[in-house]
Amino acid sequence: MLSSLLAATPWTAPSVDYHGLAPEIVVALGLCVVLLVDLFLAERSKWLLASLAGFTLLGAFIPVLTLALDDAGVRSMFDGRYVIDDFSLILKGLFLLAGYVIVLLSTTYIEEGEYYQGEYWVLMLASILGMMMMTSSRDLVSVFVALEFLSIPAYMLAAWRKRDAKSNEAGVKYFLLGVFASAVMLYGMSLLYGVTNSTLLTDIGASISGDLTAVRILAIVFIVVGFAFKVSAVPFHTWAPDTYEGAPTPVTAFLSVASKAAGFVALVTVLYVAVPGGSDVWQPLIWVLAVLTMTVGNVLALRQTNVVRMLAYSSISQGGFILMPLAVAAEGGAGEAVLRSVVTYLIVYAATNLGTFAVILAVSRKTRSGEISSFGGLFSYAPGLGVVMTIFLGSLAGIPPLGGWIGKFSAFQAVLEAGTGWAYAIAVVGAVNSVVAFGYYGNVMREIWMRPAPDGDTTPIRTPAPLVLALSITTLATLALGVLPGVALHFGDLATFASGLGG
Amino acid sequence: MFAASEAAAETAAVALKSGWFLENAWIIPIIPAVAFALIIFFGKKLPMKGSELGVLSMLASLVFAAGAGFQWIDRVNGASEEQFIDPVIKTWTWWQSGGFDLTIGQHIDGLSLTVLVVVAFISSLVQIYSLEYLRGDRRYTHFFASLTLFSAGMMNMVIADNMIQLILGWEIMGLCSFMLIGHWWEDGANSRAALKAFFTTRTGDIGLLVGTSILFFSANSWTQEHLGVSGFSIRGLSAWALTGNPGSVAITAGAFALFAACIGKSGQFPLHTWLPDAMAGPTPVSSLLHSSTMVVAGVFLVARLFPVFYEGMNIYGSSMNFITLIGGITIVIAALLAFVQNDIKKVLAYSTVSQLGYMMMGLGAGAWLPAVFHIFTHAFFKACLFLAAGSVSHSGSHHSFDMKKDMGGLRKYMPITFVTWVISTLALCGVFPLSGFFSKDEIIDNVGHAGYDVFMIVGLVGAFMTAAYMTRATYLTFFGEPRGAAAGEHHEEDSHGAHDSHDDHGAHDDHGAHASHGPHESNAFITVPLIILATLAIGAGFLNATPFGEKWENMKKWVEPRPVVVADMDHGSVGEMRGLRTADTMPATTDTVVATEDTIVVMEEGVSGEAKTAPLMAAAAPAESASGEEGHGEEGHGSHSSECGKKTPDAGVCYAPYVKHAPFKWSKAALSMLIVFAGIILSWLVSVQLYTRKAGFFFGLTKRNKLLAAGHAFLVNKYYLDHLYEKIIVRGIAHPIAKGAYWINQNVLDGVVNGAGIGTKGIARWVYRNVDQRVVDGAVNGSGAVARGAGGALRPVQSGKVNQYGALLFAAAAVAGLVLIIINT
Amino acid sequence: MDQLRDANWVLSVGTFLPLAGVLVMLFIPKAEEQLNKAVALITALATLAVGVYTLTQFDYDQAGKMQFVAETNWISVIKSTYYIGLDGISLPLYFLSMVITVLVMIYSWNHIPSPGNPKAFLILMLVLQTGMAGTFIAQDLILFFVFFELVLLPMYFMIGVWGGENRQYASLKFFLYTMFGSALMLVAFLALFFKTGAESFAIPYLVENGGAIAKNTQVWIFAGMFIGFAVKVPMFPFHTWLPDAHTQAPTQGSVILAAILLKLGTYGFMRIAIPILPDAAVEWAPWIGLLAVIGIIYGALGCLAQSDMKRLIAFSSVAHMGFVMLGISTLTSFGMNAAVFGMVAHGLITGMLFFVAGSVKERYHTLEIARLSGLLKQVPKLGWILGFCAMASLGLPGLAGFWGEFPAILSAYNPAPGLSEEIFRVYMVIAALGTVFAAAYLLWLYQRTAFGEPNPEFTSHGHSDDHDEIHDVNMFEWIAWTPLLIAIVVFGVMPNLMFKIIDPAVATIVAGIGG
Amino acid sequence: MLVNQFLILGAVLFCIGVYGVIARRNAVMVLMSIELILNSVNLNLLAFALRNGSVDGHVFALYIITVAAAEVGVGLALVLLVYRNRKSIGLEELSEMKG
C-alpha cells in the first residue's frame, strides 16, 4: 500500500538552485573545514580556528549580498518547501553578522578556558547553519529539522564547560525542556498535518480558515507553545534564566540573541504563512503571552543581583516587546507594520544585547564576578567601557537617540496601527513596562557611575582586540540605528514574504 | 441765546497752552531713578558717599516739577472757563499682548502735579535733613539710594498714564518702604516690622491686581473703540466709568477691589496696624514715606480714579458709602489710640492714620478738592512734626522717643524745634489761619454739605481729639520738668531696649558726639528744613483759602478737573460738538447759571471781556443771596456741567463727575474753631494734672474707674486688633481663650504678618509632611515597592526544578488550549 | 515664505555644534582639565554666536511664521522627517538655552562639584544643550520626542554623579517620572498620527488636520500628552520629583533644570497639545487651570514648610510654573503671552536663585535657613543679589517676574470663549492670593538668611572679613551672573522686547483654537 | 479503518509521556518519556498519512526518528556528564540556580 502511494507519485530529481543555497553551503563547508583542521592543529595554534569560523561567516555573507543584489525575485525550491526571499536574506544576514560578533566575543574566552576549542566552533557554526535554514523553511518538516538543527548544538554549547556543575545543569535543563517543548510542538504539527493533509505551509494556510475545530485550535496552540519556548515567553521562559546563568557567557549571548531571533523567525513564518486563518486563536494567546512576558520579565529582573541573570530576565521582557505587535498582527491590515517592527526590533536588539554581553565579558575578565555590584565605579577606572555600557543599557531601555528606541517605537506604531481596543490596552501596558524596565537598567548605570569600586581596586581594564572590535561594531550599530532609524526600519520594511496577512 | 452759544463756541476754540516742562514731565521720575543706579554703583566712592547725588537729583526733579506746575497754571489760565483742561498725555508702547499695544507714559494734570511737587519738595528737605541725621551710619549710601529709589517710584506712580505703570510705582514704593523700615536690620524687631509692612500692603495689593483686571476687561473694548487707548489707561477708565452704564457689577467689584489696596497702603482700618510699627525705621523715613508721601498713595489712587469710585461706590447723592465709612472709623479709632502712646513717633503715626482717614472720608463724600488739598497741606506740617520729633530725639532726648521717660521741658533747650513743632501742631489741629484749617475744615464742611451728616459729626469729633492728643504730646515733650535723657541723664542701652527706641542703632557710630552733653538745639541741616516746612505749614493754606472768596480758590481752579463733556474720537472735534450741545441745552444753561455759584464764577471769569453776558452776572447776584444754600445743590443738577456722572452724555465723554461744593460759612468755621480750642484747653488741663501736678480728678482716673481702666487697656492694646488677627488667622476661633491673656501682654510684634506667617507655616508644614511626602510622593515610591514585591512573589515559580518547569510549560499549554477551544467553538 | 526659508542651516548648526565640541573633547585626556574646560566653553560660546546670528537674521515682522525652516527626509518609512523651524515662541527659549549653557560653563570654571572630572561633566552639559535647543526647534513629533528624551540621560547623570547626599534616589526618581510621562506621550503621538490618516508627523500638518478628530478621541489623546508634559512642567500631582532633583542636583544642574528643562513641558503644551487638539484643549483647560492654581498655593505652602534654602527655591518653581500653566489654560493670547514670558522670566530668576544658593552652599557648606543669617553683613554683595532675586521672584513690577505673573492673573479674568468665566475668575483670585504667599516665603527666607547678625559658627575664625572660606562674590560668579541680573532688569523695564516677538506667534496658535 | 484507534493510542502515549516528564525525578526516565511523546507523534503522522493517503506523513515520521536518535545521543551524553560531576542523575538536585 505504501508502495502504491510511492508509485502514484513518480520521482523526479528536484532542481537545486545552488546560488540560492550558497550561504548555507559556505557555512556547511566551513564547518567541515574547522572540524578537520582541528584534528591536525597543535594546541597552541588552535586560535586559527576562531579566525576560520569568523571568515566562514563573513564569507557566507558574500552570497547573501549577491542574492540580495540580483533581483531574480523569490527563489523557491522543492516546490515551495525552501524559499529564499527578502525576509530570509535579511535574517540570514543578521544571523551571520551576529554570529561573527559572537565569534569575536568568544575568541579570548575560549582560548583562555582549558576546554576543547574545535568542538565549540563546530557547534557554533552548526547552530548558525540551522538558523539560516530556519529563515527559508516553508514546510513543517524543514521547520522542524531546522529547529532541531539549531537547538541540539545549542544544548551542547550550554553545557560546554564540562567540569562545571552549573554549566551541566544549564545544559540539562535546556535540553530536557527544549526537547519536551519541541515534542509538544511536534504533536501539534502532527494534528495540523492530519487536518490539512499537507506539511507545506502555504497549503496549510490555504486550507485553514474560519472554521476552527477543537483539533485545529489545539494544533495551533501546541505549535505556538513550541516556538514560545524558543523565544522564552512567559510562562515558557523558565529555562532561560538558569541556562543563561550557567552557560558560558558567549553562549549566553548567542542564546539570548541568535537563538531567540530564530525562534521569532519560525513563529512569524508559521503564523503568517501557515495559520493566518487561525488568528482568532493565536492573537489572544499571544496577547496574553506578550503581556505576561513583558511584565513578569521586568519585575523579576528588578530583583536580580547577578548581572547575567538580570540580562536573562531583561531579554525575556524584550521578547515580550517583540511579541507585542504580533498580538494584533491580523487586525486592520497591520500585518505589514507588525512584520516590519518584529524584524526591526530583532536587528536593533541583536546589536545592543551583543554589545552588552561584550562589556560584561570585558569587565568580568577583571572582576571575575557576575554580580551587578562588581560594576561599581566602572566609569572611574574604565570610562570607555562605562560609557559604552551606558549606551547599551540606555538603548535597551529604549531611550532616544539610542538604537533601542526605534525598536520600541516601531512596535508601538504597529500596535496602534491596528487600533483596536486590545491594541491600545497592550500599548499602554508596554509603555508602563518600558518605564519599569529602566529600574534595573538604571540600577546598573548607577553602579557604573555613582558607586565606588567594590574593593577599591581601580586598575584599568585591558580589553583584548577581538572584544574591542566587537564593542566598536555594536556601539556604532546601536548609535547609527538610533540616529538614523530609517536604516533599520528600511530593512524591516524589505523583509516581506508572501502571506495571508499581507506581510 | 444764539449769541451765547456763539460765545461758547468761541471760548471753546481757545487752544490750550503747553510747555517744555509739561511735555517732558516723564523725565521727573527718570532723574532719581538714574541717580539711584549711580548711587548703588558708585556711591561709596564719592566724597559724600552718594548722598550728594540723592539730594541733587531731588532738587533737580523739584525744579522740573515746579516748572511743569507753573506751565500748567499757565495752561489753565489760558483756557476758557467752560473748557475741559486736557491733561498732558504722552505715551509709548510698553508692551503688546493679545494684539493691542499697552502703553507707558505720562498723564499730567493738576492732581499729579500737586502730588509731584509735594513729593519732590519734601524728599529734598528730608534728604538734606538726613545728611546730618544719619551722619556716619553704617549703610549711609544704601539709605540715600533707597530714599532716591522711593522718590522715583512715587513720582512714577503719580504721573502714571495707566494702571500697570501705577502698580509699578506702587510696588517699588512698597519695596523701598521694606528696605527703609528694615534699615537697621541687625535688630530682629526692625526686620520683622519691615516684613509686616510689606506683607500687609501686599495683601491689600491682591485687590489692586484683581481690580485692575476686572476694570481692564470690562472697559477695554469701550476705550479701544472710543478713545483708542487700552483698558488700563487712567483717562480711558475715567471716561468709561462716567458713561453712565458701564455694567454696574463690574465697576462696583473693581472699585471695591481697588479700595482694598488703598486700605492696605494708606493704613486705613482695619489694615492700619503696620503703620505704627513702620516707625521702627529712621525718623526721616517716617516723615517722608510714612506720613507725607507714600501712605497717601491710596488716597491718591482714589482721587486719581475718582470716577470709578464715584460710580462704583455710588458716591453721589447717598449719605453713606464704604469709603466714608472706613475713613470715618479710621479717624476715630486712630485718634483714640494716639492718646495712649508714650512714643512720640507713634502719636504722630496714629495722627497720620487719622488724617488719612479724613482724606478718605472726604473723597468718599465727594469732597474731592478738599481731600486733595489736605494731601497737600498735611504733607508739610506732618513732615515738619516728624522732623521735629527726630530733632528732639537726635539732640534732645539722646535717641529716645519715649515722651514720658526721656523728654519734657525741652522748649528751653531747643527753641527752633519747639516753635516749628507748635506751629505744625496748630496747623494739624486746623487752627485758623494755618494751612490745616483750610483743608480739613473744608473736608468736614463739604462732607456735611454732600449729605453725609453723620460723618461731619465724626469729623468734628476727630478734630477735637486731634487737638487734644497733640496738646498732650506737646506738653509731655516741651513743657513740664525735663525727665530722663532730657535732663541730661546718661543711661545705658537697657534703659531704652524697648521697641520704641530704634534710632539707637543709627547712633552707635556717633554716640560720643551727643553722649557728652545734655539736650541742645540741632544744627542747620536739621533746623533749616524745619523752618521751611513750618513756614509752609502756615502759608500753604492760602492757595485755596475759601473763606476769602472765589479769587482765592486757586487750587480749585488749577487742580480740580472740570465735569465737562468732551468729544471722543467718533464725535468729531470739540468745537462743533460743543456748539451742537449748547444749542439744545441752552435753556438749562441760562437758569442754572443764575443759580449755582460755581457756574457763575465760570461765566464771570470766562467771558469777562464780553459785554453781552454781563446781564447774566447781574441776574446772578440776587438769586444767589435769595436762594438758600441747599437750593444750590439741587438745582445744580440741571446745569450742563453737572451732567457728568449722573447720566450718559448723549455725545462725547466726561473725565470727571460733577461734585457739589459747600459754600463757606463763617458760622461753621467758628464752630469748629471752638471745638478745636476746647480740645486744646481741656487736654492742657488734664496733662498738667496727670504729668506735672500728678494730682486732681484726672490723675489715676483709669486706676479708680474700672470702666475707664478697661477702655484704657483696650486702647493700649490697640483694640486687640493684631491679637484678633493672630487668633483668627493663626489659631482659629477654637483656640482656648486662656492663652489669650498671655498673648495680650505680648506686644505688637506678633502681628498680622507673623501671625499669618506662623499659621500658614503650620499648615504648610502639615501639608508638606503629610500630603506631599506621604500621599503624593508615597504613591510613586509605593508603586515601585509593589513592582519589587511582585518580583519577590514570582520568584518561587523559578524553583530551579526541571519537572516543575515542565509541568508549568504543559499546564500553560493545556489551559491555553482549553480556554481557546471553549471560546472559539 | 521663501525669504524665510533661506539660511536654513542656521538652526541645525546652532543645535548640533555642541556635539562637535563633544567629539573634540572625547580625544582630550581627562587630566587636561583646563583644556577640557576651555574647549567646552569655546564650543558653548560658538553656539551662542550662532544663536546671536539667528537673532539678527530673524524676521521680527513675521514672528508668527516659522523661520529658518529646514526639512529633509529622516525616517521615510514612518513618514517622519527632519523638520525644524523657529518662530516667536521658540526663539526666546532657544536663545535662552544657549545663554544659560554659556553662563553655566563660566560658572563651572572654578565650581566643578565633587567628584570632579570636568571632562565628563562638561560633555554631558553640551549634550544637554543640544537636546534643549533641538526640542525648541523641532517641527516633527518624532524629532521632538527624540530631543525631548535626549536631555534625560545627561541630566540623570549630572544629578546622580555630581549631586548631593541623596543623589541616587533623586536622579532615579527624576528619570522614572519623566520616562513614564514620555512613554504615554509617545503612545499619544502615534494615536494622533493614525487618527490623522497616518500621513505625517509634521506639527503644521497635524495642526491642520488634528481638529477633525472626534472630540472624545481628542480628549484621550490629549490625556496622554498631558501626562507627558505635566510631569515635565511639573504640575501639581506629578511634581514630587522636582524638589528632590533640585535639591540634590549640583548647582549647574539645578540652574539648567530650572531655566530650561521645566520649560520643555509648558512649551510642549503650547506648541503641540493645544494647537493640534483644540477641542480637547477646551475640555481640559479648566482642569489644567485647577491643577495650576493648586500648584500655586501648594508650592507656596511647600516653600513655607522648608528648612532648606535650595529646596525652598525648588518648591517656588512649582508655584511659578503654576502661573505659567494658568496663563496657558486660559487659551487666550493674553494668557499664552504671559506664559511664554513667564517661562523666560522664571528661567532667568530661578536660575539666578539657584546660582546664589550654590554659592552660599559653597561658602557655608550648608543651606539650612536656620543656620544662615546675616549674609548681608558677611557677604554683602551676595546678600544684595539674593534680595534682588527674591524681589524679582515675588513678581515685583519693574523686574522680569512681574510680566509672567500679573498678565497671567489678568488673563484668567476672561478666558477663551467656551470656558467658564466663573471658574477662571475664582482661579484668578486664588492666583492673586498666591502672589502674597510668594512675597511671604521669599521675604521670610530673605529676612532669616540675609538680615540679623551672622551666625557665630561661621565667624568663629575671628572677624568675618578674614574668614578664610567665606568670601564675597568672585570674578567668575560676576561674569556668570551679570548677564542674568541685567536681563532681569531689562525685560522688567522693557517687556516689549519679548512680547513683540511672542505676540504674533501666540496669535497664530490661538487663532487655531477659535477662541 | 482503525485510524481513530491509532490516534487514540497516540493521544494516550502522549499523555503518558507528559506524565512521565512531569512526574519522574530520574533524568533518564524523563528522557524516555519524551521519546514516548515523539513516538506518539509518529503514530499520529502515520495514521493521518494512511487516512489522507499522502506520503508526507511517512517522510515526517522518518525525519523525527532520525532527529530523535540524535537527541537521545546528546541527552545521554549530558546525563553522563551530570552523573560524572555529582554521582547522581536525580533532577531535584539540579536546582543550584533558581529565583
The tens digit of pLDDT for each residue in C167-204 reads: 888 888 888 888 888 888 998 999 999 889 888 999 99
DSSP secondary structure code for residue B770 in this structure: I
In the structure grid, which three cell numbers stand for residue D23, read together?
A: 512526574
Residues of chain A with pLDDT under 50: none
Contact B806 D21 (CB under 8 A): yes
Q: What is the pLDDT of residues C280-326, one digit of tens each?
A: 999 999 999 999 999 998 888 888 778 889 989 998 999 999 999 99
Q: Which of B794, B800, B820 sits opposite A299 (nearest CB)?
A: B794
Tell me whether B554 touches chain C (CB under 8 Å).
no
Check residue B623 and give its pLDDT. Answer: 38
Check residue B515 and give its pLDDT. Answer: 42
Average pLDDT, chain C: 89
Check residue B410 and give its pLDDT. Answer: 81
Check residue B506 and give its pLDDT. Answer: 42
Nearest CA in chain B to A239: B805
State how far residue A331 is from chain B, nearest Cα, in angstroms.
17
Residue C463: give the domain boundaries: 2-513
Q: Which of B804, B806, B813 sits opposite A222 (nearest CB)?
A: B813
Check residue A496 and give its pLDDT. Answer: 78
Q: What is the pLDDT of residues B395-424, one digit of tens each?
A: 777 777 887 777 777 888 888 888 999 999
Contact B769 C413 (CB under 8 A): no
Q: Which of B799, B800, B810 sits opposite D22 (nearest CB)?
A: B810
Q: Which residues contact A251 (CB under 8 A, 6 or more apart)?
A: A154, A157, A158, A160
Best B795, B797, B799, B809 member to test A by mutation, with max A CBs in 10 Å, is B809
Contact B803 D22 (CB under 8 A): yes
Report the pLDDT averaged over residues D31-44.
94
In the structure grid, which three cell numbers stand for residue A435, read together?
A: 518605564
Contact D21 B800 (CB under 8 A): no
State how far residue A490 is from chain C, nearest Cα, in angstroms.
7
Contact C300 B764 (CB under 8 A): yes
ipTM value of the model? 0.80
What is the enclosing helix (H) or strand (E) of C86? strand C80-86
Best C435, C436, C472, C510 member to test B by mutation, with max B CBs in 10 Å, is C436
Rounded to whole angstroms, how far apart are CA atoms A304 and C345?
A: 46
Give contacts of C79 with chain A, Cβ < 8 Å.
Answer: none
Task: Give chain B's end-to-end CA distance (angstroms, integer).
Answer: 107
Check residue B584 and give its pLDDT. Answer: 38
- Nearest CA to C459 out of C470, C474, C443 is that of C470
Report the pLDDT averaged over residues B61-68.
92
Check residue B586 and give its pLDDT. Answer: 38
CA-only gyration radius of chain D, Å: 17
pTM of the predicted structure, to 2 decimals = 0.85
Rounded to whole angstroms, how far apart are CA atoms C353 and C361?
A: 12
Q: Which of B95, B171, B186 sits opposite C495 (nearest CB)?
A: B95
Dihedral in degrees, nearest 10, Cα atoms B326, B332, B333, B337: 150
Tell me whether D87 touches chain A (CB under 8 Å).
no
Q: C317 near C233, Cβ under 8 Å?
A: no
A and D make contact (3+ CB pairs below 8 Å): yes
Check residue B735 and give its pLDDT. Answer: 41
Rounded to whole angstroms, how far apart are CA atoms A101 and A473?
A: 8
Contact B800 A242 (CB under 8 A): yes
Q: Which residues contact B528 (CB under 8 A, 6 or more apart)?
A: B128
Best B795, B802, B815 member to test D by mutation, with max D CBs in 10 Å, is B802
Give contacts of A427 with chain C, Cβ < 8 Å.
Answer: 187, 190
Contact A187 D44 (CB under 8 A): yes
Q: Which residues contact D59 (CB under 8 A, 6 or more apart)?
A: A141, A199
Dihedral in degrees, nearest 10, Cα atoms B150, B155, B158, B159: -150
Nearest CA in chain D to A7: D55
**In which band, very low, low, confident or very high, does the pLDDT at B757 lie, cut at 50, 70 and 90?**
low
DSSP secondary structure code for residue C459 in this structure: H
For Cα atoms B544, B547, B552, give the angle at the middle one, nearest 5 degrees: 40
Contact B803 D94 (CB under 8 A): no
Q: Which of A340, A399, A449 sits opposite C149 (nearest CB)?
A: A399
Nearest CA in chain C to B231: C410
**Alpha helix locations (H) across A117-259?**
118-136, 140-158, 165-196, 201-207, 214-230, 239-246, 249-254
**In which band, very low, low, confident or very high, does the pLDDT at C354 lie, cut at 50, 70 and 90?**
very high
CB atoms within 10 A of CB C73: 11
In the structure grid, which three cell numbers stand for residue B400, read together?
A: 529716645
Rounded to whole angstroms, how far apart are CA atoms C210 and C214?
A: 9
Contact A410 C187 (CB under 8 A): no
Q: Is the pLDDT of residue B174 over 50?
A: yes
Q: Which of C306, C397, C444 sits opposite B757 (nearest CB)?
A: C444
Residue type, A374: S
Tell me whether B784 touches chain A (CB under 8 Å).
yes
Residue type, B663: P
Nearest CA in chain A to D59: A141
Percent of chain B with pLDDT over 90: 11
B-contacting residues in C 112-141 (Cβ below 8 Å):
none
Q: Which of C73, C142, C179 sits opposite A438 (nearest CB)?
A: C179
Q: Is the pLDDT of residue B605 over 50?
A: no
Q: What are phi and psi of B488, to 5 degrees?
A: 85, 0
A-contacting residues in C 93-152 (Cβ below 8 Å):
120, 142, 145-146, 149-150, 152
Beta-strand relationship, A82-84 and C67-75 = unpaired
| Total number of domains constituting chain C | 1
- Binding partners of B (≥3 Cβ pairs within 8 A): A, C, D
DSSP secondary structure code for residue C213 in this structure: S
Average pLDDT, chain B: 75
Q: Is the pLDDT of residue B52 over 60?
A: yes
Q: Is the pLDDT of residue C471 over 90?
A: no
In chain D, where the domains are located? 3-86
Give contacts of B795 with chain D, Cβ < 8 Å.
Answer: 98-99
Q: Is the pLDDT of residue B621 over 90?
A: no
Contact A190 D41 (CB under 8 A): yes
Give contacts of B803 with chain D, Cβ < 8 Å.
Answer: 21-25, 30, 91-92
State how far residue A241 is from chain D, nearest Cα, in angstroms.
8
Q: What is the pLDDT of residues B333-365, one digit of tens each?
A: 888 878 777 888 888 888 999 999 999 999 888
Contact A175 D52 (CB under 8 A): no
- CA-based diameter of chain D, in Å? 52
Check residue D36 and give its pLDDT. Answer: 94
B-contacting residues in C 299-358 (Cβ below 8 Å):
300-306, 332-334, 337-338
Tell me whether B183 touches chain C (CB under 8 Å).
no
Rounded to whole angstroms, how far apart are CA atoms B368 and B280?
A: 33
**In which band, very low, low, confident or very high, does the pLDDT at B650 lie, cut at 50, 70 and 90?**
low
Best B781, B786, B794, B805 member to test A by mutation, with max A CBs in 10 Å, is B805
Residue with the larger pLDDT of the pair B567 and C161: C161
Check residue B5 and give its pLDDT. Answer: 42
Best D14, D18, D78 member to test B by mutation, with max B CBs in 10 Å, is D18
Rounded-to-5 percentages of helix, strand, coil across chain A = 75, 0, 20
Rounded to whole angstroms, how far apart are CA atoms B405 and B609?
A: 66
Contact B795 D99 (CB under 8 A): yes
Report the pLDDT averaged over residues C67-79.
87
Q: Which fold has domain D3-86?
A: Helix Hairpins (1.10.287)
Q: Is the pLDDT of residue B13 over 80?
A: no
Lowest-confidence range among A136-140, B741-745, C33-37? B741-745
Report the pLDDT averaged over residues B787-791.
74
Percent of chain D with pLDDT over 90: 60
Residue with the larger pLDDT of the pair B82 and B746: B82
B-contacting residues in A 258-287 (Cβ below 8 Å):
280-281, 284-285
Q: Is the pLDDT of residue B507 over 50?
A: no
Residue with the larger pLDDT of the pair B641 and C457: C457
Rounded to whole angstroms, how far apart are CA atoms B757 and C387?
A: 19
Lowest-confidence range among B222-226, B264-268, C496-500? B222-226
Q: Angle formed by the axes of helices B415-429 and B368-391, to 10°?
A: 160
Q: Is the pLDDT of residue B495 over 70?
A: no
Residue type, B3: A
Per-position DSSP letters for B60-112, written without gaps between them: HHHHHHHHHHHHHHHHHHHS-SSS----EEEEEEEEEETTEEEEEEEEESHHH
DSSP secondary structure code for residue A45 in this structure: G
CA distances from C108 to B21, B374, C22, C101 (A): 51, 59, 16, 10
Contact A446 C168 (CB under 8 A): yes
- Binding partners of D (≥3 Cβ pairs within 8 A): A, B
Tell me whether D89 touches chain A (CB under 8 Å).
no
Check residue D60 and give its pLDDT. Answer: 94
What is the enclosing helix (H) or strand (E) of B671? helix B666-687
Check residue A165 and give its pLDDT. Answer: 87
Give contacts of A338 with chain C, Cβ < 8 Å.
Answer: none
Percent of chain C with pLDDT over 90: 53
C-contacting residues in B 91-120 (Cβ below 8 Å):
93-99
